[in-house]
Structure formats: structure tokens, C-alpha cells
Amino acid sequence: MLLAFDVGNTNIVLGVFKGKKLIQSWRMETDKNKSADEYGMIIRNLFDYHGLNMSDVKDAIISTVVPSISYTLQHLSIKYFNIRAIEVGPGIKTGMVIKYDNPKQVGADRIVNAVAAYAKYGGPLIVIDFGTATTFCCISEKCEYLGGTIAPGLKISSDALFEKTAKLPRVELSEPGHVICRNTIESMQSGLVYGHMGVVDYIIRKMKQEYQTMTGGNPKDMTVVATGGLATMVSKGVESIDHVDRLLTLEGLSLIYEKNKNNFGNRNNLSRENIQLKAEE
């Protein structure tokens, strides 16, 4: 089995694959203060609850936008699974040409999403990830990562309203059902949720126009795929979103693992002494 870690600023999403099939997934809070042992015990409990055996995990892959978590999860992989995890980053084969000015600046999660979306839906396409930040990625029909946009996510916007004003409360992120609101809570929810829908709709429209200018392609051929924790709610108000795919990043990690599993030497069967040495580094 393969254990995949998708580490975001707010949550870590874990997935267990048997062959190419995702058999279980979980979401936990990203906590930079947790040790490898604490994460290990959480994962052990999750495995036990769902009747999975940790010894059946033969490999692991990590995608993270939180560098400090990378060491912790690598330590966890070595200590609890006796393997060194593959980490998505420079040198990893993705099958995608990155057109960014500096390819190293593209977040691992954005590349993983792009790889998965292209494999599932073909190109050209736009991939939107509703996480701590809302990211937009444009991929050509030739499997080229052309670039994208990064906007504040809904949660960041909500936190900013609460933290930077004297009287506005913290609110639940949900649709109030209208924009002519008669109380502060619904007024904030309306501005946050419907305002974000407007941002998404505009950027999709603008991105399709620029894609046509850059490539000569027909923007009507572009597929728009949304993923991330808030994708379902936001997509309800954005007609240009074609698919909501909550597990896109995990599927992308599985695909990238298949492309790279034979390129990193023997990462399995570590000796107990080597595990202890790595754990203490």
C-alpha cells in the first residue's frame, strides 16, 4: 500500500492506496508543533479504526507547502513505516512542462493538482484549489503548466475581518441566501462567500481570455476543475466550474509516485540502527 500526505497550511490530508485505488482518506489539522511520534499515534489510531495494518504500507509520498512539516513526516515514515518517503519537489518527474519564470517557486500542491487534473480531464484546463489560499492554475492541451493566480482564501479573509476590526465577530463560512442582509453576521457571510464567488468567476473568465491570446486556443474548450475543502460550497455560485473533485491532490500524488518509484534507489528495509540514526538527525 502507498501512504500519501498532502500537507496544506490548515490541514493535512492523508490517503491510503492499494494499487492505484484510494481505499481510505482522512483530514487532520496541520500543527507544526506536533512531533513525529504524535502524528504517528494519530495515524495508528486511524488505521486501527478502519481495520488497516500499518505494516502493509510499503511506500509513502509527501507534498507539502509547510517546509517545517516535511522533516517531521519523513521522520515518521522512517520510524513507523521503515521507509523514506518520496517528496514532491525539484528533480521529481511529473510529465508536465513548467512554464513559470522560476519553476521552483510553484507550490508542490499546485503541480500535483495539475498532474491529476490533466490525467483525468485532459487539457486545456483551469484547476482551482480552495485552501488557505485560493489558487488558480492554467494547463495547456500539451500538458504545459502555463502559470496562474493566488488569492486570499475564504478563511484568511474571514480571519482578517475579525482580527482587523474592533466590532465585527468571527463568523461561520456559509451562504446566507441573500445579499441584502439585515444583520451583521449575514452581511459578513454574504460579503465573504458571494464576494469570493465573484472573484473566482472573474479570474476564470480573465484566464480563459488570456489563454486564447497566448496560445490561440478556444477558451470554450477549457475544463474548469475545483478541489479543496471549500470547493463544493463556492462552486454552487460559479457556473463556469465544470467538476468538483475533492480528492484530486491525493490522486495526483499516486500518479507522481508511479512515475518516480523506481528512481530513488532502495528506500525500504531500513535497518533498525539506520532508523534510529535518521530519527535523531
What is the set of active-site residues? 109
Grid coordinates belonging to 260: 518516480
Pairing outcome for strands 21-29 and 133-139:
unpaired
DSSP letter string, 27-86: EEE--TT--HHHHHHHHHHHHHHTT--GGG--EEEEEES-HHHHHHHHHHHHHHHSSPPE
Q: Residue 227 is placed in which grid cell? A: 478541489
Dmax of the chain from CA atoms?
66
Provide the total of helices (H) and of strands (E) in the chain, helices listed first: 8, 11
Amino acid in the structure at residue 216: G
Q: What's the grid cell of residue 174? A: 456559509
